[in-house]
Amino acid sequence: MAQIAIVGGGPSGAMCGEQLARAGHKVNLFDEHLAWEKPCGGGLTHKAIQCFPFLLDNPYPKKLVNSVELISSEDHYATLEMPHPIVIYSRTVLNGMLLDRAREAGCNVQRSRVMSVDTTARKPRYCVEGDWQEADFLVLAAGARNQLVPESRALQRDELEMTQGYFVPQTRDSITIKFLRNFEGYIWSFPRCDHLSVGFAAVCRRIRARNCAGICKRSWTSTASRRRAQSFTATYCRRRKSARFRSEP
């Protein structure tokens, strides 16, 4: 069986590691963070649940959502009722579950950073904490902005959307998507098990990150109930100084 190295331990890398390890391959997975929290991510569609029933049938905390509320830039509302629920996890919970399954399948999961990759030799090589190793196959699951493989390029700023999110200590039963005037993007609210994940997505080249954060706050508080708006404002102010803007596809 092959020796396989996976760079990146997010949901894609963890799932890949589990499947390859169960097939009998020797798999080493490297990620400098492993399971970590972020506002976006953690939602699973009905098709994903059909393909992998364990994503629903498990004891991990999750939220099942059957409706989506859409708000137009003119403040027109529409509610979509879904025959099959979307399953929403905290990103840490989902990623941790997938990494646990990878370990149980025999995948060697390491909290380490791959510094460089060399694909010019007969077998691909990778540098982990200054130590060069080789594998039969190398799987790169390190995100759209990584620059590890020379033959590929990282996505540029004008090819990305910018996202910024906050955790609001409230709960809801539906997903909310709100569109704004003169804003190429949208605001989203995803209910998780014990909080809301609220944020925006916007085209990077169109608007500055700081402006997006202000638009998100004002627009969300204007449509939320007074209590939830006050809670969001407090959360926003508490996180604003330490928040880091991330660019994701």
User: HSE of 190 in the Cβ direction (CA atoms, 13 Å)?
Assistant: 23
Is the pLDDT at 153 greater than 80, yes or no? Answer: no
Type and span of the H or E element at 236: helix 226-240
Residues of 184-198 as b/e, b for ≥16 C-beta within 10 angstroms?
ebbbbbbbbeebbbb
Residue 177 is predicted with a pLDDT of 93
Q: Could you say which DSSP state residue 232 is in?
A: H
Is the pLDDT at 103 greater than 80, yes or no? Answer: yes
Residue 166 is predicted with a pLDDT of 83
Highest mean pLDDT: which range of 114-118, 162-166, 179-183: 114-118
Residue 245 is predicted with a pLDDT of 31
Is the pLDDT at 165 greater than 90, yes or no? Answer: no
> Taking Cα atoms as reference points, which of 175, 171, 172, 195 lies closest to residue 186?
175
Report yes or no: 183 and 213 within 8 Å, Cβ to Cβ: no
Residue 191 is predicted with a pLDDT of 94
- The least confident of 125-129, 169-173, 183-187, 222-226 is 222-226
Is the pLDDT at 155 greater than 60, yes or no? Answer: yes
CA distance 177 to 200: 9
Cα dihedral sign, 138-139-140-141: negative
Residue 210 is predicted with a pLDDT of 57
Report yes or no: 9 and 99 within 8 Å, Cβ to Cβ: yes
Report yes or no: 26 and 2 within 8 Å, Cβ to Cβ: yes
Higher pLDDT, 153 or 26: 26
**pLDDT-derived band at 229, boundaries 50, 70, 90:** very low
Average pLDDT of the chain to the nearest whole number:
82
Give the CA distances from residue 129 to residues 31, 106, 134, 150, in Å, rounded to whole numbers and listed in that order: 11, 23, 14, 19
Higher pLDDT, 191 or 157: 191
Residue 248 is predicted with a pLDDT of 33
Neighbours of 122 (CB within 10 A): 6
Higher pLDDT, 239 or 121: 121
**Model-wide pTM > 0.85:** no
**pLDDT-derived band at 239, boundaries 50, 70, 90:** very low
> Taking Cα atoms as reference points, which of 209, 37, 192 lies closest to residue 200?
209
Higher pLDDT, 150 or 41: 41
Residue type, 150: P
Residue 217 is predicted with a pLDDT of 62
